Amino acid sequence: MAPELAHEEILAWLRCDDPQLLERLWELADRERTHRVGDCVHLRGLVEISNHCERSCTYCGISTANAALGRYRMSRDEIMACARQAVLFGYGTIVLQAGEDPGLETQWVADLVGDIKGATGLAVTLSLGERSPDELALWRASGADRYLLRFETSDRELFRRIHPPPKDRNACDRIALLRTIKALGYETGSGIMVGIPGQTFESIARDLALFRELDLDMIGIGPWIAHPASPLCREGAPDADADQVPATEQMACIVVALARLVCPEANIPSTTALATINSLHGRAHGLTRGANVCMPNLTPPQYRCLYEIYPNKAGSSSTPEQSHRSVLATLAALGRPAGQGPGSRSA
Ligand code: SAH
């Protein structure tokens, strides 16, 4: 077991801005990563299957607030072609992500998961937002291996503000839903955005404690990136609040490194948001500061530019081939091999 970091120690790292001390944190996280999960970087092919969304999350660029955005939903055949591409690229996992789209009907998704498993044997990860325990159970029975649902922030009041429930529904308790997902036998992923206006250092320290409490298999962490069409962007950060967490690359890397120390065995991606906020080094920084997973984008170019959860998303005008090569180039530069097989937490 890793020696447990005390709450005060975590807070001190979160507030740290000293480059020399931070070098020490990166080393600690990188050493822990090597020791616990090895040097291989697992590649998950990401397919953004629909940008329809019935939610009005104030942080997100594809929410209902963005009336100007063209909407798409990929067909079964288009998604199957992406799955075959993932196999050709040597990935062990396909991740199907979308807005909260009721048009992705329960049985249609179940059939799709079954077809992908039957045709490719890939591990299938779903990230389709808040869906009912019955739907989640059916998809699990159809062969889905993993589910990703970030709780975004453990500060319930802040979460309620940035993630209002639809008019005719009660607020969903994402943390309770994550426990259900785990109980259904999914490998369970969650995570947060770093630097949400109103988010404090104390609140991130509690997020890290919750990662551990939930015993997460996967933890995704990225900086919040303002989308001009999102209400939260117009609202901005509270002025001169010393406790406001900055939405910077360095801050997101500190949280990635601490997540590695707090949950040493978890699969932790170097996220697209990190690669967006620092287009030259973001992905490599994630991988040398605790992360062990990359998610190259396999979404066809005509759709990926519309999955605009934040602006200038890394790779938003690239082809799957270009995204693949770009990730491989990062791994080659770091001397890190691509993982083989599904890359489950326990494998
Ligand atoms: N509808 C799904 C998938 C959402 S997109 C769901 O809600 O789970 C996946 C993740 O992108 C979100 O969980 C959120 O953490 C992140 N995200 C959304 N908007 C963002 C923004 N403006 N900046 C950074 N990350 C963002």
Let me know the angle formed at the C-alpha of 91 by 137 and 44, rounded to the nearest 5 degrees: 55
CA distances from 223 to 22, 104, 161 (A): 18, 28, 18
What is the mean pLDDT of the segment spanning 58-62?
Answer: 96
Would you say the CB of residue 99 lies under 6 angstroms from ligand 1? yes
| % of residues, the chain, pLDDT over 90 | 92
Residue 1 above 80 pLDDT?
A: no
What's the pLDDT tens digit per position in 22-44?
999 999 999 999 999 999 999 99
Q: What does residue 309 show for φ and ψ, rounded to 5 degrees?
A: -65, -25
Q: Which residue has the tokens 């491989």?
A: 328
Tell me, in angstroms, the distance from the centre of ligand 1 to residue 99's CA.
9
Q: Identify the band that residue 238 occupies on the pLDDT scale cut at 50, 70 and 90.
A: low
| % of residues, the chain, pLDDT over 70 | 97
The confidence score (pLDDT) of residue 31 equals 98
Would you say the CB of residue 37 lies under 6 angstroms from ligand 1? no
In whole angstroms, what is the distance from residue 298 CA to residue 320 CA?
Answer: 5
The confidence score (pLDDT) of residue 2 equals 53
Would you say the CB of residue 224 lies under 6 angstroms from ligand 1? yes
What's the pLDDT tens digit per position in 118-156?
999 999 999 999 999 999 999 999 999 999 999 999 999
Q: Which residue has the tokens 């209002």?
A: 164
Secondary-structure class of domain 12-334 per CATH: alpha beta
In whole angstroms, what is the distance from residue 214 CA to residue 197 CA?
Answer: 25
What's the pLDDT tens digit per position in 240-292?
677 999 999 999 999 999 999 999 999 999 999 999 999 999 999 999 999 99
In whole angstroms, what is the distance from residue 209 CA to residue 204 CA?
Answer: 9
Task: Answer whether 267's CB lies under 8 Å from 294's CB.
Answer: no
Let me know if 21 is exposed, middle or buried by CB neighbors in 10 A (0-12, 13-18, 19+): exposed
Let me know the angle formed at the C-alpha of 179 by 40 and 163, rounded to the nearest 5 degrees: 95
Would you say the CB of residue 310 lies under 6 angstroms from ligand 1? yes
User: What's the whole-number average pLDDT of the chain?
Assistant: 95
What is the mean pLDDT of the segment spanning 85-94?
Answer: 98
Out of 74-83, 101-110, 184-193, 234-243, pick the least confident: 234-243
Nearest CA to ligand 1 atom 18: 60
Tell me, in angstroms, the distance from the centre of ligand 1 to residue 225's CA.
10
Out of 91-100, 183-192, 230-239, 270-279, pick the least confident: 230-239
Q: In the chain, which residue ranges form alpha helices assigned H by DSSP?
A: 7-15, 19-37, 76-88, 106-120, 133-141, 156-162, 174-183, 201-213, 231-235, 249-262, 272-277, 282-288, 301-304, 320-334
Q: Which tokens belong to 278?
A: 């620092």
Plot region of 341 (φ>0 → left; ψ -120 to 50 → alpha; else → beta): left
Long-range pairs of 27-32 with CB within 8 A, sequence gap ≥ 24: 28/257, 28/261, 29/256, 29/257, 29/258, 29/260, 29/261, 29/289, 29/290, 30/288, 30/289, 30/290, 32/2, 32/260, 32/261, 32/264, 32/290
The confidence score (pLDDT) of residue 346 equals 62
Would you say the CB of residue 195 lies under 6 angstroms from ligand 1? no
Sign of the four-CA dihedral 141, 146, 149, 154 = positive
Residues whose CB falls within 8 Å of the CB of residue 70, separated by 6 or more in sequence, listed in order: 306
What is the mean pLDDT of the segment spanning 221-235?
Answer: 91
